Chain A
């Protein structure tokens, strides 16, 4: 019945896999495909996850963006309570990154060498410093390029492995930096010196393509596996239940 999975749907599954084993915590994926991936994890292999409506409610619905049947509200979670969640550690956040380096230091505050007068002012620090030293953290990069995967970030908003270890035990105690999912691949830091490793490449992508799109030397093990494809049931959930409007295809065109 179903057409072959698109690249966007491979990304959705890769995001869902980030939450495997997380249990009864807040899955807090930020971005279109992350929202779909988090919903997919909960609707399939990680049913105890909690998720927000994007604002102040925790809702049980499988739909990622629209709830024509009405929202099923599990709890009230205004920003004040969100920081209680963040600092108690019962959360896995997936953030974006304008720049990220080999140890996972992330920047989305400003681009340029002079912070007092940046070439481009971006979001600011948002919650990145607090998220990364308190919660499991992963990243979503919809366009894998050397402009994002850089040798050195201009500003460290989210903390990477090297900086956390240098900052000492108070910084590493709850530090748990996990994965990066991009439109080309999945990366992690499961290496002796915590430098970024190519974990899997999406179907149709070569290792060489990922290397060329990365501005630093990646750790590439022998025989990098392919990112897994959605099962027929996962495809049905994505297409019919979670994202029937196909917003995933706008973020990562086929």
Chain B
């Protein structure tokens, strides 16, 4: 009998623990595993370290009080350049800040995926990154003595990513313009969770993807699969759907006051995911 890795968002959240380091795939407000993010926001989890090419995943979890530390190079909603929930958390000192350059970040994930302690780079030299991110260090080249930055491995306790199609064992593909760094997040993590728009039989994956070149996630990189149409909402997930700009604007304006956030949370976070999707469809 074929292994079936399908679970619910609540089961993913239940596999996480307080204080864990959780990597989130996607980029900005693009193909984020938002249904799992919402389940984490609803849970009793706390003190998480979030590692992300940040979008509303970071802002929502900060607003929900789940985050101790943010490891990031940017937090952007794309059409809204800055996430106001993240800004508020930073400006009140509610979260610790670990700044990275977005390319350095790739090296950190790659080092963790390759199980080496660091990768060398010029990125960071001369800037304030080494001063503000004490995890960075320097390393002298054994060949010519050049003093470079050592990007430390960004080891993750868990990773969550949203892929367009998957089979029930965790083979998955992306259908949009860019895989981003989802494969590296999954390879850098101890526990690996994906959500997907649609679970299809394995023998239909290539047809769904259009080409085997898009089958970039294989089942050895995935422990569990959540099937959730609209799982990336309100971020974009092309070709299935674009970003829900009016919803995103409502999310952003919910940062204007504690009351506005309480209303948003009651209506769009503290609800069952199936119910959320029904309400979105009815908007």
Contacts and interface: CB of A to CB of B under 8 A. Distances in A.
Contacts, number: 129
A78 B177 contact: yes
B128 A156 contact: yes
Contacts of A134: 122-123
A159 B74 contact: no
Interface in A131-178: 132-134, 155-160, 163-164, 166-171, 173-174
B126 A132 contact: yes
Nearest to A123: B74
Nearest to B183: A80
B81 interface: yes
A231 B182 CA distance: 47
Given A80-B181, A155-B132, A117 B99 contact: no
B242 interface: no
B279 to A, nearest CB: 30
B128 A155 contact: yes
B268 interface: no
B126 A115 contact: no
A120 interface: yes
Nearest to A169: B146
Given A123-B82, A171-B122, A130 B90 contact: no
B158 to A, nearest CB: 22
Which of B73, B100, B101, B125 has its CB near the most chain A CB atoms (within 10 A)? B125
A123 to B, nearest CB: 5
Interface in A165-200: 166-171, 173-174
A171 B125 contact: yes
Which of A87, A121, A132, A134 has its CB near the most chain B CB atoms (within 10 A)? A121
Contact of B127 (A110, A158, A168): A158
A115 B95 CA distance: 12
A130 B101 contact: yes
Contacts of B129: 125, 129
B257 interface: no
A170 B129 CA distance: 16
A171 B126 contact: yes
Contacts of A169: 146
A1 interface: no
Contacts of B178: 55-56, 78-79
A109 B107 CA distance: 21
Q: How large is the interface on A (under 10, 10 to 19, 20 to 34, 35 or more residues)?
A: 35 or more
Nearest to A124: B74
A57 interface: yes
A112 B93 CA distance: 13
B91 interface: yes
Given A121-B91, A157-B127, A170 B103 contact: no
Interface in B205-256: none
B82 A122 contact: yes
B147 interface: yes
Contact of A87 (B72, B86, B103, B127): B103
A83 interface: yes
Contacts of B97: 115-116
Nearest to A159: B126
Interface in B9-62: 27, 54
A228 interface: no
Contacts of B115: none
B102 interface: yes
A123 B100 CA distance: 12
A124 to B, nearest CB: 4
Nearest to B93: A117
Interface in B123-179: 123-129, 132, 146-148, 177-179
Contact of A170 (B76, B147, B177): B147
A163 to B, nearest CB: 4
A133 B75 contact: no
Nearest to A166: B126
A47 interface: no
Contact of A118 (B91, B123, B126, B179): B91
A163 B106 contact: no
A87 B97 CA distance: 26
A157 B128 contact: yes
Contacts of A132: 126-127
Nearest to A106: B127
B147 A124 contact: no
Interface in B78-126: 81-82, 86-87, 90-93, 96-97, 99-104, 106, 121-126
B106 A80 contact: yes
13 contacts: A55-B177, A110-B90, A120-B87, A121-B87, A123-B81, A125-B73, A126-B73, A129-B124, A133-B122, A155-B128, A157-B128, A166-B126, A167-B126
The 8 closest A-B pairs by CB, nearest first: A130-B123, A159-B126, A167-B126, A129-B127, A121-B90, A117-B93, A171-B125, A56-B177
